[in-house]
Structure 1
Amino acid sequence: MVEVSLEPLFQSIKPFVIENQKQRKEKELKGEFFNIFSILNMERDEVHTHSSFIAELLNPKGSHGLKDEFLRLFIQYIPLNDIDVTTLNTKSAIVKKEEYIGKKDVIKETGGDIDILINFFSPNYTIIIENKIDAGDQEAQLARYNNYAKHLNHSFTLFYLTKDGHEPSSWSTGLKTEEHYWECISYKNEIFKWLKRCLDISNSFPLINGCIKQYQNLILKLTGQELNQTMDKNITQQMLNHNLEMLAIWENWDNWIYSIAEQVIKEVAKKTDCECKGDNESYPWWLWDNDCWVAFIPKNNPDIKIWFGKEKGDSPYYYLEKKGITTLQTKLECMEYKSSKGTPFGSKYLDSKYLRWDLCVAQAIVNGEFRDYLCNCINEVLNDPNFPK
C-alpha cells in the first residue's frame, strides 16, 4: 500500500483558509452578515420564508410590481419537459403556494398540499415544485403530486427542490420510482443563478432589490457559499493536484465524522459536569438517524438523564427523565416540567438549523457553535427552578 502524506495538501489549502477567515472578519465589521430572515429566525422555514418569497417573485401579479419579469427569467434556468419555454404566456400565469389538492391518501397516492404551483395558459402547462430545506420526505409525496398532474391532461414538470439538488427517497417517489418522473433542482445552482439575474433587473427598484439581496445572502449561507466562491475554485484546484491525498481523506471520511462527534460529546459532558451514556456507533447520527440516543447524566444527580436523539419520523429533540418516575416523555412544544398532560417532565425540539447533517452543521461542529448550543440546552434543564433536585 502506498504511504500518503496529507501535509502537502493541507499546506497548499491553508492560505485560502486564512484568507477566508480574514474576509469573514471584514464582513462582520461591515455588517454584511446582517440578515432579516436570520434575525427573525425564519431562515429555514420552508413554507413561510422560502416558498412564500419565491412564489411572490414568480407571481406576475405580485407586490413587486415587475409583472412577469421574474417568472420569465425563472423558466430559463429550470429544465422543463415537453415545452418550448418561448411559447409560455408568462403574463397570464397563475402562481399559488400551499395549494390543496385533496385529502392525502398514501395508498392511492393522491392528495396533499403543493408548495408552489404555476399554471400557464395557451398553451396549458403546469410547474409543480416540492420545496425541501430541512424537512424529510413525506410518504408518497412526489407520487401524489405526479398523479395529480397527470389528471390535468396537459404537459407538466414536477420539481424536487433542495439545497444541493439531491434525489428524493423512494419513500416519497412511491410505486413508480423507476420511472423517474421528477426533476431535481437546487438552491445552490438554479435558484441562486435565477436570483442573481433578478438582482440585475431590479436595480431601479431599491426596496425590491435589497430584499432579493438579503434572500440571496441567506441562500449563500444555507448552501455553504457565504464567503468567497473564488476560494472554492482555488481549493478545488489544490485538491486536483493532490488526488492520492484526497482519496485517503475520502476513505477515512466516516472515521473523521465518528471521531469529531465523539469529541463534541466528551466536551459537552465536561463543560456541563455530566457523564455520557452512549455507544460509539450512535455518535455521528444521534440527532439525525432514527432511534439513536445519547444521554447526559449530571454527576451530582445520577438519577437524572437528559436524552438527545430522534425517534422514527420525528425531529431531533431532548427530554428529561428521572429514574423511577417516568419512561419516554410526552413530547411538548417547549420544556415543561409539570405539564398538563400528566407527565412530570417534558421535552423540547432542537433548533431547526441542526435538523440535517450538512455543511452548516459540520461548520457549527468545527467552530464550537454546536457544542455550545448543546451545553446551553443541558444548562437550561439543570438551572431551571422546577428541575427536580
Structure 2
Amino acid sequence: MDTELDIQRFFREVENICALEQAQQEERNRKGENYNLFSILNIERYELKHSALIANLLDPKGSHGCGDAFLRAFFEIALKERAYPFESSTPPNSYTEYYTGPIAGDTGGRIDILVESKSSHYGLIIENKIYAGDQDKQLTRYDNYGKETFGADGYLLVYLTLYGYDASKESTATKSTEEVGYLRLSYAEDILRWLEQCVRLADNKPLVRESLNQYIQTIKQLTYQDMNQENIQKIIDLAVDYPEVVATLSSKRDAIAQGIREKYIFAELKEYADQKGWLFDSTEIANPKGDNKIRLRKEGWEGSIIISADSEDKKSNYGWWINLWIGIDSKVTGAKKLACLEKQSPEYPMGWEYLTTPNWYSAENFPAMKESVAEEIINKLDEIIEELGIK
C-alpha cells in the first residue's frame, strides 16, 4: 500500500465532494432555501433561547397549539419510549430557569427546563449545555431537588449537550460514593429526531411546521450536519475505501487540533495584542504541564484579561482546552463587575463568561476554531477594553 498516494487520492476526492456541496449551497441560497430567522438573529449561540423554545414545545399549553403531542413525542422519541408520566387530566406546567433556592452546597440553583405536574407528582428536569461548562455539584443539586420534590422514583434528570457528552465529575459530586443518575441526550441525534417527529405532528399547522423546520436546520448547523446527505454518504463511502488514511488522520487528531489553535486562534490573538500595544503572555501554552491560559496585559494596569479552561481533571486535562472561558484577573481593590461579562465569582469579581466554542480539542469544533473563535474573542476583548476605559 502506498499510504502517501492514498492520502493524495483521498483528499482529492473529498475536495471534489466539498466543491459540489458548495455549489449546491450557493444554488439553495439563490433560491432562498437557506433563509433562517434563527441564524439571522444569532439565536443558536444562546442556551437560554434554546431552553425557551424547547420548554414551549414541551408545554401542553404552549402557543404551538398541539397540546401534549410534542411532550408525548419527547418521551417516545428522545427518551427512547419511556412511559408517559403525565396522564392526569390536569396538564403539566413547563418552566425555564426554574428557581430552586439559593445555592448552598448540595441544594439550590436554577433548572434550565422543568416540566412538572403536581397531580401526577412527576418532574422532568433538563440541564441544557450547549457552550457553558458545568457548575460545581450542579446535577447533584438538581437531583436532590427531584428527590425532595417528587420522591426517588418520581422524576427524570436529563443532561442535554450537543453530542451527548457526560457531565463533569464536579457536577455530579456527592458526599457518598453513590453517583448521581442522569440520562444523556444530544442535540445531534435525540433532539433532531424528536423535532422531526414534531414536524410530522404539526403537519396541519404550517407556521409551527415551518418554524420547526428552521430550528432543525439550526441544530444541524450547530452539529455540522447541514451538508447534503448524499454528499455525506459519499464521504463515508470514501472513508470506508481508505481506512488506513482515516486511521492516520484520527491518530494525529491532537496534533491537528494544536495546529488549528496555533494558526487560527493564538496567532490572531497575538497580532491583535500587538496592534493594541498589549502584552501577550502565552507561556502556559508552551508548558504541557501548566494550565491552559492566555493572558493579555496592559502596562500600568493592575490586572489582566485571561482566556483559560476549567481544570476538570488535572491528571488527564493537561494540554487540553476544554470548558473555555474569558475573564478578568484584577488586583484593583473594590473592582466591580463589567456589564459585558455574564458571570461573577470571588476569584473574578470583574466578571467572566464561557466562550461559544468551549472545546478546542474536539474535532467537531475544528471548523469553528478556524472560522469564528478568534473573531468572537477579539470582539469580546474590544468590549472589555472599551468598558474598562483603557487606552
TM-score range, shorter chain: 0.7 to 0.9
**Which residue is equivalent to 2:338?**
332
Alignment partner of 2:62: what SS? coil
Q: Which residue of 2 aligns with 1:167?
A: 166
Q: Which residue does 1:338 correspond to in 2?
A: none
Partner of 1:310: 308
Three-state SS of the structure 2 residue aligned to 1:173 is coil
Is the alpha carbon distance of 1:212 and 1:278 closer, same or farther for their aligned partners in structure 2, counting shifts above 3 Å?
A: same
On the 8 A contact 2:146/2:155 being kept in 1, the answer is yes
| Structure 1 partner of 2:103 | 104
Distance 1:318 1:4, change over 3 A: farther
Q: Which amino acid aligns with 1:334?
A: C
Alignment of 1:265-344 (within 5 A): 265-267=266-268, 269-270=270-271, 274=275, 276-279=280-283, 281=285, 292-295=293-296, 307-310=305-308, 316-317=325-326, 332-334=338-340
What is the one-letter code of the residue matched to 1:365?
Answer: M
The CA deviation at 1:290 is 6.2
Contact map agreement 1:99 1:115 (CA 8 A) in 2: yes
Listed one character per residue, the Cα deviations across residues 266-321 of structure 1 (whole Å, up to 9, x for unaligned) are 3554577548542483699xxxx966014488xxxx88998551376996337699
Q: Identify if the C-alpha distance between structure 1 residues 32 and 362 changes in structure 2 by more than 3 Å, giving closer, same or farther.
A: farther
Measured in 2, the distance between the counterparts of 1:376 and 1:116 equals 30
- Percent identity, please: 29
- Distance of 1:269 and 1:373 partners within structure 2: 15
Say whether residues 1:219 and 2:244 are aligned partners.
no
Structure 2 residue aligned with 1:262: 262
CA RMSD of aligned residues (A): 4.0
Q: Aligned with 2:170: secondary structure?
A: helix
Closer, same or farther in 2 for the Cα pair 1:250/1:91, shift >3 Å? farther
**Contact in 1 for aligned 2:78/2:193 (Cα 8 Å):** no
**More divergent stretch after superposition (58-67 vs 203-212):** 203-212
Contact 1:353 1:361 in 2 (8 A): no
Aligned CA distance change for structure 1 residues 312 and 194 (closer, same or farther; 3 Å): closer
Establish whether residue 205 from structure 1 lines up as the match of residue 211 from structure 2: no
Task: Tell me if structure 1 keeps the 8 A contact 2:324–2:359.
Answer: no
| Aligned mates of 1:124, 1:350 — CA distance in 2 | 36
Q: Note closer, same or farther for the CA distance 1:310–1:14 as it changes in structure 2 (3 Å cut).
A: same
1:118 partnered with 2:85: no
3-state DSSP of counterpart to 2:173: helix
Letter in 2 for 1:50: H
TM-score (norm 2): 0.76
Contact kept? 1:315, 1:349, Cα under 8 Å = no
Contact 1:272 1:379 in 2 (8 A): no
Answer yes or no: is 1:130 the counterpart of 2:133: no
CA-CA distance at 1:219 after TM superposition: 1.1
Q: Is structure 2 residue 368 aligned with structure 1 residue 364?
A: yes
> What CA distance in whole angstroms lies between the structure 2 residues aligned with 1:283 and 1:18?
39
The TM-score normalised by the length of structure 1 is 0.76
Gap change, CA 1:332 and 1:192, over 3 Å in 2: same
The SS at the match of 1:144 is: helix
- The code of the aligned residue for 1:245 comes to V
Q: Which amino acid aligns with 1:235?
A: I
Equivalents in 2 of 1:248, 1:280: separation in Å?
A: 29
Rate the CA distance shift 1:282–1:303 in 2: closer, same or farther, 3 A: farther
Structure 1 portions without partners, runs of 5+: 336-345
CA distance in 2, matches of 1:222, 1:95: 29
User: Which residue pairs with 1:29 in the alignment?
Assistant: 30
Instruction: Give the residue type in structure 1 aligned to 2:93.
Output: V
Instruction: Answer whether contact 1:306 1:378 (CA < 8 A) is retained.
Output: no
Q: Aligned partners of 1:196, 1:234: CA distance in 2, in Å? A: 24
- Alpha-carbon separation, structure 2, partners of 1:326 and 1:124: 50
Q: CA deviation at 1:71?
A: 1.2
More deviation, 189-198/369-378: 369-378
* 2:260/2:366 contact within 8 Å kept: no
| Residue 150 (structure 1) aligned to one of 137, 147, 156 | 147
Aligned residues: 360
Tell me which residue corresponds to 1:340. Answer: none
The answer as to whether partners of 1:330 and 1:347 remain within 8 angstroms in 2 is yes
Q: Is the 8 A contact 1:80 1:157 kept in 2?
A: no
Equivalent pair of 1:295/1:306 in contact (CA under 8 Å): yes
- 1:94 paired residue number: 92
CA 1:104–1:369 in 2, change beyond 3 Å: closer, same or farther?
Answer: closer
CA distance in 2, matches of 1:372, 1:123: 49
